[in-house]
Every structure is written in C-alpha cells, then in structure tokens.
Structure 1
C-alpha cells in the first residue's frame, strides 16, 4: 500500500475506507457523465435554463469526485477513476443515451442524484462506524450538496 498521509487512522480502517471511497468515486464519475449527457442533448421549453444549470451541476460533481479521489490517496490508496473502472464499478443505473425531452432528463437525473445521495449517507454511517470521522464528514458535505442539486434539477418536474 502506498504511504498514508492521515496519521491516526488504522491500516485496516484505511483499507476499508479506500474501498468505500472508490465505490462512491465510480458512482460520482458516472453521475457527472450522466449530467453532461443530459446537458448536451436536452431539448424543451426550458432548454437554456436547464442546460446552464447542468453545466454548474457537472462542475460541482467533478469537485465532489476530486475530493473523494484525493481522500482515497491520502489514506494510502489508489483512486480508481478510469473509464474502465467506472464502467465496472458504478452501482448507478445506466443513463439512457437516446432521450432528449427535458422532462425525461430531469426525471432520470433526479432519480440518480437521489440514489447517489442515499449511498453517500450510507457511507457516512460506514465511515463513522469504522472510526474515520474525516471520511464521514467528507460524505456529509457531498450528500448535502447532492441533495441540493437533486432539488435544483427535480424542481423542474415538481408539481
């Protein structure tokens, strides 16, 4: 295992957290790519507003992904963010590549943001139980931001 830069984290805890972080890394990259897929292809009466929103959301997702990957390396792991790793390891439902209607994109993205947020909350519990409060805090920040983006996106279809 490469050098760990977080003193006070037991090796077995670090290994468990590296696995957890890489799981969410794959999901986060997958979700960021889904946002860009929608951004490029969305059509409808609110096109420009949603198109611009999705650019901002994709930037935030890339920031979350970067933070997750960096924590993995800080703990002595290797961040597994290649396309091949993401395809193999993402637990998110595959994003449809044949839709264009804004209602469909909003529905599909909202569903995935809610799923990713739930997985981040599970990661908070797992990290806390393992005694790594820094990783738990990382996932707390990510889940809070992802919930907000789920709202920003989902509100377009809300009644």
Structure 2
C-alpha cells in the first residue's frame, strides 16, 4: 500500500492524472475511469519505496529531526528522491542511458543509514538519527548530483514533468 502511495503522490502520476482526470486549480478531481487506468508497475523495488515512504512520513512528525535543517526541507528532498525513483520505474532505459538512474543508489543509502523493515518500531530518537543520516547521505552524494542532472540530461522527458 505504501508503494502505491509513493506512486500516486509522485509528480509523474500527478501530471498523468491531470491529463486523464479533471483539474480544479492545483487540485485534481478524480473519477473511476482515470483511476482505473493508472499504469501501475509492480516492481522488486517496492521495499525500497516503502522504506522511503515510512521515513518521509516520519519527517511530518512534530519532533524536529535536526536543529540544522527543518523537517519540511528534509520531507521535500525525500519526496524529490521518490519522484526520481518513480521516473526510473517508468523510464528505466532512458535514465540508465543518461546515467541518472538512482534506485540502486537509494537502496545503498537506505542500507548504509540502517533504515530497514523495523524502522517503525524504533525509538523516536533512533528514527531521528537514521533519518538524518539518510538525508545527509542522499543530499551530499551521487543521488543529489544525478537529480540535479535530471533536467539537463533529460530535456525531452524529465524536464517537462519536473517543470509542470
């Protein structure tokens, strides 16, 4: 279920639904037909998406993760990472050709940060620590570099999605 939540909250799906559904300002009014036509890819990467979603949801908690960076910034960054992973699910070959694929890098960061299936059962302080480690690793490493290249290396596919 968290995997589908990640897909539905992505920029790619928002753009797709804005063409298939009915737009009301910044919101979408969705009916059965566009919802039933959503092209959901079930992937072996679902576990990584679920771990990212759990971490993103934790950043919405009232407790500040780190005094250097606001939770909202961490939340927005992790949402962008999820968008990048969704792009890779749907444009895998393109992203590999352009060397902007990030799913394997995300899996490595999750592993290095110790974010695994027991994240939700950890103490709040441990969750903060692991979330901060994940954010630092992703925002200062190869993932950030590749995400910065999405627009320049993919002007025909990713740029229109990101700028919509």
Tell me the TM-score range normalised by the shorter chain. Answer: 0.3 to 0.5
Which structure carries more relative contact order (alpha carbon 8 Å, separation 6+)?
1
Under a length normalisation based on structure 1, what TM-score does the superposition of the two structures give?
0.36
Greater share of residues in helix: 1
